[in-house]
Amino acid sequence: MKVEISNFGKAKDGSDIRCYTLTNENGMMVSLLNLGAIIKDIIVPDKKGQFVDVNLGYDNVEGYYDNAESLGSFVGRNANRIGGAKVTICGIEYKLEENDGENNLHSGSNRSHYMLFDAEVLEDEFATRVRFMHTFKDMEQGFPGKAELSITYTLTEGNELILEYRGISDKDTVINPTNHSYFNLDGEGDILKHKMYVNADKFTAIASNMIPTGEIVDVENTPMDFRKMKEIGEGIDSDYNYIKIARGYDHNFVLNGTEGDISKVAELYSDKTGIAVEVMTDLPGMQVYTANFLENKKGKAGVIYNPRAGVCFETQYFPNACNEKNFKSSIISAGKEYRSTTVFKFNIK
């Protein structure tokens, strides 16, 4: 395993943006930026031995500063939507930015992927890792508490990309980060022919504003049933109410398995390249998002990204979990460490 550090350009404050590229013995490469702890590239071999970048992104700094769609991003403090853009913690109501209608999405417009992170390379006999760290000030993004968040990326010789999240705050606050990479296992086109599996019997119902109602719905006999692998495009434009609200898939699945134990929760596969990625996590929920609102974005090599250009597997607590009493809360007590792990394992089938 080796790591190369290069310059990627200048941040808005004039400091250098660094790119950390991990390469394993199979030739798999993962490039990471200290701007927002972003995953820039994930390059893996296909069934013909050719290398494919399966992660949507940009070739330059300007692209990542114009990244409202969060391509490749670490999202914190809170991923997903908070209803009414407010949260009550210890009896105090905190008003957040309304940047998604009346809701707060991905912590507002001052998102973590526009922030510079401290970075360190960690090497031992087992692996090479890159850890990115950022301290959020008290009331930054509208949340209480000085919160220290970190994400450690590890690339293994088994073609696993391991994401380890840690967080701690000096006040009770919301901590619910995720990764927002858009996967396209063909490296081009759309993902409608990709086959997907999701290990979930249920999902969280949403209202017309995309906020969960608190109801848990069975996937049986609905387009939400991915317990057996099927093409994403099969039900993406159906007249099923929850699909119509989201203009495709943009839903939180209630994952089967035991929270706290890392288990397989999803798989994505392309017949064209033979590339598959398995998703494993110890978290209770996962938002599957099919880039419904990605439109006319100039990505890598000048390619224009449009809806269905990629699919995200956002492992997390349920949307609006800081407010919805039926969900496990994403409010973390002062001094208590938040910990979670997500793994993306790539292979050929």
C-beta contacts of 211-220 below 8 A and 24+ residues apart: 211/81, 211/83, 211/103, 211/319, 211/320, 212/252, 212/318, 212/319, 212/320, 212/324, 212/327, 214/324, 214/325, 214/326, 214/327, 216/254, 216/326, 217/242
The pLDDT tens digits for 302-339 are 999 999 999 999 999 999 999 999 999 999 999 999 99
Question: Is residue 128 scored above 90 in pLDDT?
Answer: no
pLDDT tens sequence across 144-166: 999 999 999 999 999 999 999 99
pLDDT of residue 22: 97
Catalytic-role residue among 134, 180, 194, 251: 180
What's the pLDDT tens digit per position in 290-305? 999 999 999 999 999 9
Among 69, 267, 314, 324, the active-site one is 314
What mean pLDDT is predicted for residues 74-101? Answer: 98
Alpha helices by DSSP H, 66-153:
none
Q: What is the pTM of this model?
A: 0.97
* pLDDT number for residue 120: 97
pLDDT tens digits for range 12-52 = 999 999 999 999 999 999 999 999 999 999 999 999 999 99
Active site residue 251: no
180 among known catalytic residues: yes
pLDDT at 260: 85
- Name 91's Cβ contacts closer than 8 Å, sequence gap at least 6: none
**What pLDDT, on a 0 to 100 scale, did the predictor assign at position 88?**
98
